Amino acid sequence: MAYKFQQLKVYQLALDYVDKVYVLSRGLPVMERFNLQNQLERAATSVALNIAEGSTSQSNAEQKRFLGLALRSYLETIACLDIIERQGYSANDALIEIRELGHELFIKLQAFRKSLAGGQKTEDGRQSPSVPGLQSPIKGGS
């Protein structure tokens, strides 16, 4: 029997993101094992865990709070990826792939969170996943 959160597309996407993060983090230098590797893995895992924990909430407001925590954890992974990139610890192709998947996750988390509060709608009536000031996670992208 599946729990409600296991059927959510955003949860499945978060698990895919965790898988990619683990693959990337296992290639980091040994000296980063208890620092950057651990931090990146914990932050990515926290995204999926907060989606799961929030699904058992008693109210939309409480679930929205857990999705906010998931978003914060996701952004923490972005900071870790920035450090990995600056230190030259990973190939650019691997970072682009994980950033693209992460950006999709971010958009879905935002849309889910907004839907709980009757978020903003686009002109054609769909939920707007955009976040003011958000730029493409890929350098030079739009």
Terminal Cα-to-Cα distance of the chain (whole angstroms): 42
Cα-Cα-Cα-Cα torsion 116, 131, 73, 106, nearest 10 degrees, comes to 80
**Overall domain count for the chain:** 1
How far CA 39 is from CA of 43, 58, 101, 126, 142, in Å, comes to: 6, 30, 19, 36, 28
Cβ atoms within 10 Å of 128's Cβ, excluding its own: 13
Tokens (6 digits) for 4? 């409600």
Residue 107's domain spans which residues?
Answer: 4-116
Helix ranges (H only) for 26-91 are: 38-54, 60-87
Q: Residue 137 and residue 80: Cα distance in Å, rounded?
A: 13
Mean confidence (pLDDT) of the chain: 86
Task: Note the pTM of the prediction, 2 decimals.
Answer: 0.82
Residues 19 and 127: their CA atoms lie apart, in Å, by 28
> Which CATH number covers residue 101?
1.20.1440.60
Q: Is residue 26 included in any domain, yes or no?
A: yes
Could you tell me if residue 30 is inside a domain? Answer: yes
**Residue 43: inside a domain, yes or no?**
yes
pLDDT: is 45 or 56 the higher one? 45
Q: How confident is the model at residue 57 (pLDDT cuts 50, 70, 90)?
A: confident
User: In the numeric block, which tokens belong to residue 24?
Assistant: 């990337």
**Any domain includes 122:** no
Q: Is residue 92 situated within a structural domain?
A: yes
Q: Is residue 11 part of a domain?
A: yes
Average pLDDT of span 100-110: 98
